[in-house]
């Protein structure tokens, strides 16, 4: 074995730009292509937005304008504007910024002066322009390198800062901005910043009722068991209700930052809800019964918060200081607030208190109903030798919190030996696992959660994902439905969507469920092979290759060889996220598609058959 030389020449010093580009995950989490809400391109937008939001929180600027056109992002705020002499430093020198001065930025989200620099370094083009007291300064960068340093000039523009950037497509391969993810991101800013108006490509985002508006958007009135409870205090705001759905739904925020992975404030909130409810009803309810079906939001403001990563998705602070006073634990702060204000609310609103109690009792009954078969089902899953027969597992899992590749952990759910065989042979064993279905899954619409334990396929899948007790132990970041692009494949996909929406809606809400897009056609000649995902792409390929190329129509995943399949689940994988829009009512959605043959569904089919018939007649 050749000896590795380790001397002074082995020690390298990278400048700020090189380090960010070499290790982007340290600064923005995972990269991705925009198919997940926490992919890097959305973090870039957030890092710029956070600075503008912090300006508003300090009383500067009542509107922010965001435009995204063909991959170019423009953000204009109307705050104080970066001091003109420090414009370049603020976007290109690590640990340079105004947030080290606690008087200039109280309870801000950004504290270490890294975010904007990361955006600059990871962008093919970056422009910063500050407007301040009748003067303006412009600087432009490419890949973090300064290419245009303009002199200070006069201006009639209002004070504020303008940032323009284009993510580097060499780092963010095949990236695309999905409007629904940006929509949610901007609404969160609006809900948490009363009086602020945001404009995204001309559309206005504004909230008057804060977190109550958030839950109003995330839940449907017909599905709520009682009206939304909205409580506000000094540095804390909460809103909550219970619905008929399974699972628990939380939205947690620190200083206006959406902490997607929660943290100490959310843990304190969940604990305080249970404690307050138990004391109010004088009953020692199980925590899972109290929280089943809950939809809640909690926001706290903390001086100098400590997050567990640069992306600020999880709060690590144990203590908080309120307006410079003596430190208090976040746990006791949240608990004391709910103990007083939620308890007072329930005493004053007896109808709500009764409805909440009935929902808890319903959860308690359902839990006891499945207790008998739950133990047997768990033993059966172990005896099934899950990891060898049903599941071809990978080595990296979503629970590996210290591994930055945890976000790549993927479970493909497929049907049939040939399809699962192709994926298994071509997958990346480090991060991609395969779960094989046996035949078509059960249509579980309208059935209680008891069926998850009674049905072998559902029980084994639940154990493979480790979601029996919630998402805390979820083993894969991406759950991908990989079915054939034919009628049977679509039916299996629909049955699996029903399973997740019915029993584990949190999987969908938190952006973990995807559809795998695989090519419908292979078009090739002796020089080149092209894979096409639509009829339009096929026609383009035919025109490009010319001379009557060979065209193959893939009828199923099993027809694609492992060598070919590796190209479709590698770096260029195409995933379509399963999204729940704000107006989506899960029970109505499932009733429409999976319930009895309703007149509405019959009319939809008839109308679309007419359209199909007209298209055929026109083509002939």
H or E element, residue 237: strand 236-242
> What local confidence, expressed as pLDDT, does residue 613 receive?
44
Residues 449 and 464 in one domain: yes
Q: Does 593 map to a domain?
A: no
- 402-419 pLDDT, tens digit per residue, is 887 888 999 999 987 777
Q: Choose one of 184, 205, 226: the last residue of a domain.
A: 205
Mean pLDDT of 140-157: 95
Residues 106 and 198 in one domain: yes
Residues 317 and 439 in one domain: no
Q: Choose one of 205, 236, 271: the last residue of a domain.
A: 205
Residues 545 and 510 in one domain: no
Q: Choose one of 205, 240, 270: the last residue of a domain.
A: 205
CA distance 141 to 165: 9
User: DSSP string spanning 569-610?
Assistant: SSTT-EEEE----TT--HHHHHHHHHSS--HHHHHHHHHHHH
Q: Does 5 map to a domain?
A: no
Count of other CB atoms within 10 angstroms of residue 415:
26
CA distance 233 to 461: 43
> What local confidence, expressed as pLDDT, does residue 385 receive?
57
Higher per-residue pLDDT: 287 or 468: 287
The boundaries of the domain holding residue 146 are 16-205
Mean pLDDT of 587-594: 70
Q: 612 pLDDT exceeds 70?
A: no
CA distance 158 to 78: 7
Looking at the 3D structure of the chain, how many domains does it have? 4
- Find the CATH number of the domain harbouring 108: 3.30.565.10
Q: Does 505 map to a domain?
A: yes
Mean pLDDT of 370-393: 75
The shares of helix, strand and coil residues in the chain, as percent rounded to the nearest 5, are 40, 20, 40
| pLDDT band, very low/low/confident/very high, at 619 (cuts 50, 70, 90) | very low
| pLDDT band, very low/low/confident/very high, at 106 (cuts 50, 70, 90) | very low
- Winning range, highest mean pLDDT, from 136-140, 262-266, 514-518, 612-616: 136-140
| pLDDT band, very low/low/confident/very high, at 324 (cuts 50, 70, 90) | low
- 422-464 pLDDT, tens digit per residue, is 888 899 999 999 999 888 899 888 888 889 988 989 999 999 9
Q: 388 pLDDT exceeds 60?
A: no
- Find the CATH number of the domain harbouring 236: 3.30.230.10
Mean pLDDT check: name the lowest of 273-282, 294-303, 335-344, 607-616.
Answer: 607-616
Higher per-residue pLDDT: 515 or 16: 515
Environment class of 559 (CB within 10 Å of its CB; exposed 0-12, middle 13-18, buried 19+): middle
Q: 307 pLDDT exceeds 70?
A: no
- Find the CATH number of the domain harbouring 413: 3.40.50.670
> What local confidence, expressed as pLDDT, does residue 142 receive?
96
| pLDDT band, very low/low/confident/very high, at 102 (cuts 50, 70, 90) | very low
> What local confidence, expressed as pLDDT, does residue 585 receive?
64
- 50-90 pLDDT, tens digit per residue, is 889 888 888 888 999 999 998 999 999 999 999 999 999 98
Residues 64 and 180 in one domain: yes
């Amino acid at each position: 074995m050749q000896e590795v030389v380790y001397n002074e020449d082995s020690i390298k010093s990278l400048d700020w730009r090189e380090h960010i580009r070499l290790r982007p995950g340290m600064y923005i989490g995972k990269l991705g292509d925009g198919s997940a809400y926490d992919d890097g391109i959305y973090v870039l937008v957030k890092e710029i937005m956070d600075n503008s939001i912090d300006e508003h929180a300090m009383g500067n600027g009542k509107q922010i304008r965001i435009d995204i056109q063909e991959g170019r992002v423009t953000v204009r705020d109307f705050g104080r504007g970066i001091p003109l002499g420090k414009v370049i430093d603020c976007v290109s020198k690590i640990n340079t910024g105004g947030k080290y001065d606690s008087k200039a930025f109280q309870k801000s989200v950004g504290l270490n002066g890294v975010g904007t620099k990361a955006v600059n370094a990871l962008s093919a083009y970056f422009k910063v322009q500050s407007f301040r007291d009748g003067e303006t300064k412009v600087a432009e960068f490419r890949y973090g390198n300064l290419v245009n340093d303009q002199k200070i000039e006069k201006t009639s523009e209002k004070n504020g800062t303008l940032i323009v950037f284009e993510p580097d497509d060499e780092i963010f391969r095949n990236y695309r901005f999905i409007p629904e993810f940006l929509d949610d991101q901007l609404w969160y800013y609006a809900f948490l910043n009363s009086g602020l108006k945001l404009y995204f490509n001309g559309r206005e985002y504004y909230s008057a009722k804060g977190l109550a508006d958030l839950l109003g958007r995330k839940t449907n009135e017909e599905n709520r068991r009682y009206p939304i409870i909205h409580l506000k205090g000094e540095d804390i705001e909460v809103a909550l209700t219970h619905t008929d759905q399974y699972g628990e739904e939380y939205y947690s925020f620190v200083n206006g930052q959406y902490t997607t992975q929660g943290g100490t404030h959310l843990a304190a909130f969940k604990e305080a809800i249970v404690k307050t409810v138990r004391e109010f009803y004088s009953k020692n309810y199980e925590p899972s019964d109290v929280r089943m079906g809950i939809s809640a939001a909690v926001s706290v403001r903390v001086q100098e918060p400590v997050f567990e990563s640069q992306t600020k998705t999880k709060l690590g602070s144990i203590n908080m200081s309120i307006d410079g006073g003596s430190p208090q634990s976040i746990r006791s702060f949240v608990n004391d607030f709910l103990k007083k204000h939620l308890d007072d609310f329930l005493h004053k609103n007896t109808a709500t208190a009764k409805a909440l109690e009935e929902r808890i009792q319903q959860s308690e009954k359902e839990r006891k109903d499945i207790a008998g078969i739950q133990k047997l089902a768990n033993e059966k899953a172990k005896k099934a030798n899950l990891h060898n027969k049903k599941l071809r597992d990978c080595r990296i899992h979503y629970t590996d919190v210290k591994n930055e590749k945890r976000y790549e952990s993927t479970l493909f759910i497929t049907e049939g030996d040939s399809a699962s065989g192709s994926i298994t042979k071509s997958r990346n064993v480090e991060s991609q696992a395969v779960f094989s279905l046996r035949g078509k899954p059960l249509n579980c619409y309208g059935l209680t959660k008891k069926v998850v334990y009674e049905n072998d396929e559902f029980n084994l899948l639940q154990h493979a994902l480790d979601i029996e007790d919630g998402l805390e132990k979820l083993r894969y970041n991406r759950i991908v439905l990989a079915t054939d692009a034919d009628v049977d494949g679509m039916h299996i996909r629909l049955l699996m969507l029903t399973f997740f929406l019915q029993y584990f809606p949190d999987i969908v809400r938190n952006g973990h469920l995807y559809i795998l897009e695989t090519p419908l056609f292979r078009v090739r000649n002796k020089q080149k092979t092209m894979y096409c995902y639509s009829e339009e792409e096929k026609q383009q390929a035919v025109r490009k290759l010319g001379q009557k190329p060979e065209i193959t129509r893939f009828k199923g995943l099993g027809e694609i060889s492992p060598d070919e399949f590796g190209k479709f689940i590698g770096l260029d994988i195409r995933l379509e996220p399963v999204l729940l829009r704000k107006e989506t009512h899960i029970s109505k959605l499932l009733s429409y598609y999976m319930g009895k043959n309703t007149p509405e569904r019959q009319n939809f089919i008839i109308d679309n058959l007419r359209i199909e018939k007209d298209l055929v007649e026109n083509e002939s």
